[in-house]
Amino acid sequence: MIKPIGSDELQPRFVYDVAEHDALSKEAESLPSVVISSQAAGNAVMMGGGYFNPLQGYMNVADAMGAAQNMTLTDGSFFPVPILCLLQNVDAIKDAKRIALRDPNVDGNPVLAVMDVDAIEEVSDEQMKTMTQKVFRTEDMEHPGVAAFNSQGRFAVSGPIQVLNFSYFLDEFPDTFRTAVEIRNEITERGWNKVVAFQTRNPMHLAHEELCHMAMERLGCDGLVIHMLLGKLKPGDIPAPVRDAAIRKMVELYFPPNSAMVTGYGFDMLYAGPREAVLHAYFRQNMGATHFIVGRDHAGVGDYYGAFDAQTIFDEEVPEGALQIEIFKADHTAWSKKLNKVVMMREAPDHTKDDFVLLSGTKVREMLGQGIAPPKEFSRPEVAKILIDYYQSLQK
């Protein structure tokens, strides 16, 4: 199986030993504590599950700047984005060496992790500006990722963490949320050697489904991991439970047995386009995938990124040898009226736009809201029914 990044075995930051977990939970209640941001909580969950291997905790400012500027930390190791715990106020933990980090996303703000504090640093305006520009390629506060990153505060608390739980993800998505450790174990149990991962924050229409089949066939993969984001999205995106139901129905009906796993991870979407594509590849290698599909405008939002920037970054900016996982570069896929099947648009040079079945997201949402299923060339009817029920429930 493909090795994790930076170590021979995954080093998840979750405390699995029952006695140690119990002792740490008791200790945490007496420690100075602070409620962290949703983004920092997602970082803790990802470190807890081994996805961000070999990170032991939150970065200091020097490492965060290195990650932002050239994807390299001060010790020379590779990481594509800053992993920070930014706070607006540090009065409660100012002189503490060991603190409890409380979950902003669960009622009562239970302790999510315990941290050994290495440093508390104030991030300058110039440093925030540089990190924002490098990661998101814009400083526009209309960009949802830029707004979320810059609203957390300016005090960076760094140091190794021990994670006590997986926030709301395990409770709300017990059948779907999986750690990198669990996915690696399941890949081994299924006997898969070549595994391609597919990232999604949306339900999968026919074109996505066919893209996965294409990738598996062309790469000679024996397994597909559909790995959906379960954290916070921007307003208007379809909630995770609805997405989950739609994807499971599609896999059940249209994939052979033991060929696809439906899983999810606990992280808030950054909408950082190219940089987020590299982060996606990073943690897919850690979970055991050998290949990763990067499509048109991967992890993008609005018009902030070029259609294929998330593919070219792997050739132009990722340091040589930083990743072992291979990228399957996909174009937009759509139903060809000429060929009567889904194709990659770049592989049909004799087609015009009118030769494809293309529907905008707005048009699809409008149809679903009116109880009208998109054409079968766009969406499986069983998937469309789940989405129609959701959109119609919004109108009640």
pLDDT, tens digit, 9 for 90 and up, residues 61-92 = 999 999 999 999 999 999 999 999 999 999 99
The two structure tokens encoding residue 77: 């190791």
Task: Specify the pLDDT at position 105.
Answer: 96
pLDDT in tens, 154-195: 999 999 999 999 999 999 999 999 999 999 999 999 999 999
CA quadruple 258, 260, 264, 265: dihedral positive or negative? Answer: positive
pLDDT in tens, 37-54: 999 999 999 999 999 999
Residue 215, Cβ neighbours under 10 Å: how many? 19
pLDDT in tens, 335-366: 999 999 999 999 999 999 999 999 988 899 88
Q: Do the beta carbons of residue 294 and residue 96 sit within 8 Å?
A: no
Task: Specify the pLDDT at position 232.
Answer: 77
Domains of the chain listed by start with CATH number? 18-167 (3.10.400.10), 175-265+271-394 (3.40.50.620)
Task: Specify the pLDDT at position 231.
Answer: 86
pLDDT in tens, 264-322: 999 999 999 999 999 999 999 999 999 999 999 999 999 999 999 999 999 999 999 99
Give the largest CA-CA distance in the chain.
69
pLDDT in tens, 386-395: 999 999 888 8
Mean pLDDT in residue range 219-233: 92
Mean pLDDT in residue range 234-251: 87
Res. 235: pLDDT tops 90: no
Active site residues: 201-202
Q: Give the CA distances from residue 135 to residues 79, 158, 226, 273, 283, in Å, rounded to whole numbers and listed in that order.
A: 12, 20, 25, 9, 17
Q: What is the three-class DSSP state of 373? A: coil
Task: Specify the pLDDT at position 201.
Answer: 86
Q: How many residues does the chain have?
A: 396
Mean pLDDT in residue range 7-18: 97
Res. 236: pLDDT tops 80: no
Q: What is the three-class DSSP state of 331? A: coil
Query: How is the chain split among helix, strand and coil, in percent rounded to 5?
Result: 35, 20, 45
Residue 158's contacts (CB-CB under 8 Å, 6 or more residues apart) are 57, 58, 59, 60, 61, 63, 84, 85, 117, 118, 119, 120, 121
Residue of 292, 304, 227, 315 whose CA lies nearest to 263: 227
Mean pLDDT in residue range 103-111: 97
The two structure tokens encoding residue 285: 């290698």
Alpha helices in 160-303 (DSSP H): 169-172, 180-190, 206-219, 240-254, 274-286
Mean pLDDT of the chain: 95
Task: Specify the pLDDT at position 389.
Answer: 94
pLDDT confidence band for 214 (50 / 70 / 90): very high
